[in-house]
């Protein structure tokens, strides 16, 4: 990650970083539900977060892995973190088309 960002930063104005897993620890809040809270141990990396925060041109981070939509501003308003998963079929509580419309999004950079 660090080598890729070192290569890109002098060549671009903005960087959108996409990862499968959560790149920051603490993005998910504990719920008190044991199965959910167990997953929190694998739900973010403080090391990746520190690396990302070292590059001011990273303005948006998009990740998957979790099945909960998250939108948070980090580093003040400089960095947006976003996760907008479709999830597993058993997790869909509305009509499929409506669910997909709510989760698919356009990212403007």
Task: Render pLDDT for 87-99 as a digit per residue (tens, 0 to 9).
Answer: 888 888 888 888 8
How far, in whole angstroms, is CA 68 from its chain's centroid? 10
**46 touches 67 (CB < 8 A):** no
CA–CA dist 46, 24 (Å, integer): 5
Query: Could you give the maximum distance between any two Cα atoms of the chain, in Å?
Result: 45
Residues in the chain: 109
- Tell me the whole-structure pTM to 2 decimals: 0.80
pLDDT in tens, 53-107: 999 999 999 988 887 788 899 888 899 999 888 888 888 888 888 888 888 888 8
Instruction: Give one DSSP letter per residue of 27-93, joined into a string.
Output: SSPP-S-HHHHHHGGGS--HHHHHHHHT-TTEEEEEE-SSSS-EEEEETTTTEEEEE-----GGG--
């Amino acid at each position: 990650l660090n080598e890729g960002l070192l290569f890109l930063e002098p060549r671009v104005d903005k960087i959108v970083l996409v990862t499968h897993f959560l790149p920051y620890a603490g993005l998910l809040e504990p719920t008190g539900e044991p199965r959910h809270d167990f997953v929190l141990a694998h739900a973010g990396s403080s090391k990746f977060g520190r690396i990302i925060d070292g590059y001011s041109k990273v303005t948006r981070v998009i990740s998957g892995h979790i099945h909960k939509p998250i939108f948070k501003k980090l580093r003040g308003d400089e960095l947006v973190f976003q996760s907008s998963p479709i999830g597993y079929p058993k997790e869909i509580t509305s009509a499929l088309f409506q669910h997909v419309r709510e989760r698919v999004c356009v990212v403007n950079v």
